[in-house]
Structures are given as C-alpha cells and as structure tokens.
Amino acid sequence: MSPASDHRLPTDTDDGMLLIISGPSGVGKTTITRGVERTIADSVFSVSATTRAKTEADVEGVDYHFVTDEEFERMRAQGAFLESAGVYGKKYGTPRAWVEEHLKRGRLVILEIDVQGAVQVKKQIPDAFAIFVLPPSEDDVLNRLRARKRENEEQIQKRFGHAKREIEAAKAAGIYDHFIVNDDRQRAIQEAVDVVNRRRREKRDGSA
C-alpha cells in the first residue's frame, strides 16, 4: 500500500478526480464500477484494506488488502484511511496515501464504498464526484440477492432491509451528484461514463 514516488511520469496529467460509486447490496454496482474502469483509460480502482478473512477466490492487492484487526486499528489511529467502516462485523478502509498519490498523477480514482464512507470522503475531498446506483424497484433487489444463491433466506432478508436503509440514507445525505437506475447494465455503465467524462471536462474548463 506504499504510494508511488514523487517523480513525474510522462503519463501524469492535472486531470485527477475522485469518483465514488455506491449502491445497495445486489444492485449491480460492482459491474458498473468495473465497466467504468475498463472504459475510461486512466482510471484506477482503489483497493480497500479489510479485516475479513481471505477466501480462495480473493487475490491480495486486487480484491482487498487483507490485514489483522490490530493492523487495521493501528492504521486508523495513524490517519491512514480516507474513510473506514464496519460492515457485518468486519472492518474496511480506503488507504489515503495511495488515493492522494494517484490523484496527483491525474488519474480517475474510483472508490466503491457505502453511504457512510462516502460522507466521510466528501468531508475531506469535497470535489469528489459521487454516483449512487439505484435498482429499478425494491423487488429487483430482492430477486438479485436470491439469484446470487450465497445466503439463506434469513440472511437475504437482513441484506434486503439494509439495502432499503442504504437507499434512504443516500437520498437524505445530500452528497451524491448523480443517481443511476440500473435497469439495463450496458446503458447504466454508459450513463456513468458519460457523466464522469462531462464532470472532468467541466473541471478542466473551470466551470465545475
């Protein structure tokens, strides 16, 4: 998680922007996040630190930076996180130095975080651009959670209740610049790409 050097690279620009993407569990936000990352050439995805156990499918440094609870709390005490939160008994945090370094490099830095984390980040980086992904309907969220076949019905209902609260919190927070309804995956990705590109043009032109 060490930041890059201060040496200016040929690819560096002054076009850096922090993009926050949030949405309830089961809404398809990771698909949209990855779609934006693939489409916008200079984008980089911020990898969170977490105390949750590493699974066989996880890749260190790609999915998460896996740390112990003690390491996490030491990092938090040192101010190493832009935001941190507890989710289902596990802790997650966004490494500050890595994000700030890539912003200096002119990259589009993407954070996929919840509303609580987005509020924390916006306080520190007010010009971050925040997108919240909405489902076409509440039933759609429930159907997607069931289709994943990862949990029993009791756990699904718990996640569904959390998803509804997350949507309410996002609308009440007043920090999201754009809401996208994920009724069609490719259309939603394109909408995200379009609004991000427009925001960066506005920033370059000084109209943002």
pLDDT along the chain (208 residues), means of 10: 54 84 92 96 94 91 92 96 88 94 95 94 95 94 87 91 94 97 96 97 80
pLDDT computed for residue 208 by the predictor: 57
User: Strand order in 49-50's β-sheet?
Assistant: 65-66, 49-50, 90-95, 81-87
The H or E element that residue 163 is part of is: helix 153-173
pLDDT computed for residue 85 by the predictor: 86
* Domain at 18-203: CATH code: 3.40.50.300
Asked whether the beta carbons of 82 and 125 are under 8 A apart, the reply is: yes
In angstroms, the CA 40 to CA 161 distance is 34
Spans of all domains in the chain: 18-203
Token pair belonging to 171? 């609308």
pLDDT computed for residue 2 by the predictor: 45
